[in-house]
Structure 1
Amino acid sequence: MDKQSQRGWRLPGAAALRHRDYRLFWSGYVTEVAGQQMLWVAQGWLIYELSGSAVLLGAAGLARAIPGTILSFVGGALADKLDQRRLLIAVQVMQMALLAGLGTLTITGGVEVWHLLVIVSASAAAQSFENPARQAIFPKLVPRADLMDAVALNATIHPGTRFAGPFLGGLLMAQVRLISGEPLLGAATLFYLTAFGYVLNACLLYFIQLAAVAAERKKTSMFADMGEGVKFITRNPIFLGLILVTYCTQFFGWSFQSLFPVFVKDIFQGGEFELGLMGSALGAGSLLGATTASNLSSVRRRGLLVIGGFMTPAALIILFSAAPYFTLALGLLFFIGCTQAIFNVTAQSTLQYLVPNDYRGRVMGIWGMTHTAVQPMGQLQMGVLAGLLSAPIAVAFGGVAMLAFAVLVVIPNRRIRRLTLEMDQHGEEEIKTQLRELAGPRH
């Protein structure tokens, strides 16, 4: 029996949070993401309130995807070259300015849908630099022995804040509307709160003590570094396979969240509060799934976790699309979040554990395109299908596409099926040797 099994069920973070700099990093990130979860409620609701168009909800995804696609490679290369702490602080300041401006437009009644789309696009551009830097910096804040614990704890941030954030955001919007009688004032309040979260995160990042980037890394060409990152991934099938499966999950599956306002308003006849409940149900399940995945880190057959965590939410998404009652939809969302989180933590922790530090920013930057480019493009196709057909058909199509991808691509992939990973501490040379073995002979 391994040591983890002897310890029994545990919450992630006990080891990682012992380290001061990681505590600062994690606390700031929790504050930022909590604001983002409320921002998601406000933006989606405001776009649909102003336009009544499911297609424009999808257009918000396109506005995110364009800069996310173009700049993620650049952001990954810069994350391996620059002071990641300063890069993150600069991004927080930019995000704060954007949201403060959006809040002012909204509170004065001058906001239009195109304002939202422009600010969503600018925010996505900033996030393209933030995600790789964030993924590259946190392994430097903990010893290698505590890396898996830090990955698992990071993976609880989004689901944990998704549990409370959308609920509180929807509740606050509803209460502000009720008290003030102004339909847009609630959204403006959430924009200002999110801007404050970015300020607080920047302050905490400022106090992190991080060694300077090696001078020789700065002398290389950024474009050459970008090419090396892509080449590194394509030559290691495990990295390529996990990233492509994650892309499929986000494009066809997780993007269904963009249609929540349509389900709430047109199918379940609800409002801001019900919209928040849907996000919270998804978040509660995701938090349980992330905690479960952290306790499964000693499971050697990680390929089974990847396949199961990919196919199960696909089937549940199809069931959600046909749910006739709001309470049933909430229950399905809980289990969708749980199973999806198991997949996400397993895939991300495997990547983080195997990738060498010199490539971490670029590899995780390309992986991070799941959020800055792939998921927004998925939101666009969801919005277009919902506009042409209906929201339930668009969501059901996504679940069917995921199952088809699993049957035709994932399950036949021997490397994913047989993916194993010993969670013992390895030296850098042993990891590189393992990567070469995983890549196999080149033809």
Structure 2
Amino acid sequence: MSTGPGADSAPAPNTPDDIRTTALTKPKGGTFSSLRIRNYRLFATGQVVSNTGTWMQRIAQDWLVLSLTGSSTAVGITTALQFLPMLLLGLYGGVIADRCPKRRLLLITQSAMGVTGLALAALTLSGHVQVWHVYLTALAGGLVTVLDNPARQAFVVEMVGPDDLRNAVSLNSANFQSARLIGPAVAGVLITAVGSGWAFLLNGLSFIAPVAGLLLMRTAELHKVDRAPRGKGQLREGLRYVAGRPDLIWPIVLVGFIGTFGFNFPIWLTAYVNDVFHAGAGTYGLLNTLMAGGSLVGALLAARRGTSRLRLLVGAALLFGLLEITAALAPEFWLFALLLVPIGMFGLTINVTANSSIQLATDPAMRGRVMSLFMMVFMGGTPLGAPLVGWVTDAYGARVGFCAGGAVSALAAVGVGVVLARLGGLRLKIDLRRGRPHVAFVPKEAARVLTTAA
């Protein structure tokens, strides 16, 4: 059901003035406002079940590979096979997502993910599993993700409309982080009690929930979005579209730097646990839980926030980088662990703000391609940055590696912030008078007037 001619997209900001004032429409009320929409409730319920299963499989899969090979390199290969398809083919997935009905495409991708989990479960429980089987299922899952990610991202606005998009994106992130808290814990119990195969089985069965939710949706209540017709050059068209929109390209650039250099927590946390604090797997699990808890808090706070400005994205990225540097220099374990909570919170804020801002600033016919580029840069950068970050960490120590990642994130935030400020005709205003914002970006004309008045 469409709510009118302007229901499917926000005005596309192309001018510097628009860049200065870009914000999403204020949601209709409350942290969980999107859940009043039946179709989104079905979607969210299915996702929390399948996300929990996915986290269970991730933990069990890594443990199985380590058990079969005794090699951390083999675990790294498994991770790379999951992410490389998005890096290499992500843009093509966006083209397909723009052409196809997204609900129908999601029915296919979610079913395929369930099949890969069941296949790995059958091999493991029968005692025939070999490491190449795990590699193959990891690659298959990565290939399915190439289509699933842009389709799932772009389908959100069809369920809730533009007014509730930011809230729905935030709740999706809260959903994912909740599963991140539950899934590994359940997987640990299952692996210890009955083996990895049962975790794979439950993951495969968990996809029944999102498939059922998609089938139960009332299609008449979906917001109509025009699909891109088949044609040549649509991939290049999508890249040209993003390149000509500074309000899209610069947030994607910022997310790319942070995703490549600032989100390598498995490398840093394992190095800290082993080399700095000389602890065990339980401590590693505790640190991941603290970060996931901070991310969950960040998602819920983002759901309450009524607007999504590019300045919020830049500010969150700067604080994220500075917190990483601070944590890298923390002398005591308790301080390091405590700082992981706000790091998780601001990392999630970056993701939600960039995601929702880019979606609403994009023409509906281009949304799949733009979001595939966003996800390709954010997720696909990790396999590229991880070897470099890992080498720095091995060569110079965990503190230097973590500090370097934070420094790159902070510098990227400053650089992108300066570019956006110049494009938006803004300048930095410092006002030390009591009761005034001490530091703020304001239009250049206003800054000159305020300076003269002072």
TM-score bracket, normalised by the shorter chain, equals 0.7 to 0.9
> What's the counterpart of residue 182 of structure 2?
164
For residue 141 of structure 1, give the secondary structure of its aligned residue in structure 2.
Answer: helix
In structure 2, give the amino acid aligned to 1:333. Answer: L
> What's the counterpart of residue 235 of structure 1?
244
Larger Rg belongs to: 2
- The C-alpha deviation readout for 1:62-112, integer Å capped at 9, x for no partner, is 323331122211111111111211211111122122222223344455545
- Match status 1:403 vs 2:410: yes
1:255 to 261, 264, 281: 264
CA RMSD, 1 decimal: 3.4
TM-score by length of 2: 0.77
Distance 1:282 1:71 in 2: 30
Do 2:91 and 2:372's aligned partners in 1 also have CA atoms closer than 8 Å? yes
Cα distance 1:263–1:197, how it changes in 2: closer, same or farther (>3 A)? farther
Do 2:50 and 2:207's aligned partners in 1 also have CA atoms closer than 8 Å? yes
> What's the counterpart of residue 288 of structure 2?
279
Cα distance 1:158–1:217, how it changes in 2: closer, same or farther (>3 A)? closer
- The C-alpha deviation readout for 1:152-199, integer Å capped at 9, x for no partner, is 3223222232233333433x24xx42x46xxxx1x3332222222222
Do 1:128 and 1:372's aligned partners in 2 also have CA atoms closer than 8 Å? no
Q: Pick which of 207-216 and 319-328 moved more.
A: 207-216
Deviation at 1:261, TM superposition (A): 5.0
Cα distance 1:385–1:41, how it changes in 2: closer, same or farther (>3 A)? farther
Distance 2:120 2:285 in 1: 21
For residue 203 of structure 2, give the secondary structure of its aligned residue in structure 1.
Answer: helix
Do 1:69 and 1:369's aligned partners in 2 also have CA atoms closer than 8 Å? yes
- Match status 1:270 vs 2:288: no
Q: Pick which of 121-130 and 395-404 moved more.
A: 395-404
In structure 1, give the amino acid aligned to 2:280. Answer: G
Cα distance 1:298–1:98, how it changes in 2: closer, same or farther (>3 A)? closer
**Structure 2 counterparts to residues 28-427 of structure 1, below 5 A:** 28-51=46-69, 53-170=71-188, 172-173=189-190, 176-177=191-192, 179=193, 185=195, 187-210=196-219, 217=227, 219-221=229-231, 223-257=232-266, 260-261=269-270, 263-264=272-273, 268-271=278-281, 273-298=282-307, 302-321=309-328, 327-370=334-377, 372-386=379-393, 393-407=400-414, 409-415=415-421
Structure 2 unaligned blocks of 5 or more: 1-24, 427-454
Distance 1:324 1:360 in 2: 45
Deviation at 1:245, TM superposition (A): 0.8
Deviation at 1:367, TM superposition (A): 1.0
- The C-alpha deviation readout for 1:202-251, integer Å capped at 9, x for no partner, is 12112223369999956422x42222211110000110011111111111
Do 1:166 and 1:277's aligned partners in 2 also have CA atoms closer than 8 Å? no
> What's the counterpart of residue 439 of structure 1?
none
Distance 1:265 1:190 in 2: 27
In structure 1, give the amino acid aligned to 2:53. Answer: G
> What's the counterpart of residue 430 of structure 1?
none
In structure 2, give the amino acid aligned to 1:69. Answer: L
For residue 239 of structure 1, give the secondary structure of its aligned residue in structure 2.
Answer: helix
For residue 12 of structure 1, give the secondary structure of its aligned residue in structure 2.
Answer: coil
TM-score by length of 1: 0.79
Do 2:328 and 2:400's aligned partners in 1 also have CA atoms closer than 8 Å? yes
Do 1:268 and 1:326's aligned partners in 2 also have CA atoms closer than 8 Å? no
Cα distance 1:388–1:194, how it changes in 2: closer, same or farther (>3 A)? farther
Distance 2:229 2:349 in 1: 40
- Match status 1:12 vs 2:31: yes
Deviation at 1:415, TM superposition (A): 4.2
> What's the counterpart of residue 433 of structure 1?
none
- The C-alpha deviation readout for 1:286-325, integer Å capped at 9, x for no partner, is 11112223333347xx333212211222233344456666
> What's the counterpart of residue 424 of structure 1?
none
Aligned positions, number: 400
Distance 2:393 2:310 in 1: 34
In structure 1, give the amino acid aligned to 2:409. Answer: M
Structure 1 unaligned blocks of 5 or more: 421-443
Distance 2:353 2:148 in 1: 22
**Percent of aligned positions with the same letter in both sequences?**
28
Cα distance 1:62–1:95, how it changes in 2: closer, same or farther (>3 A)? same
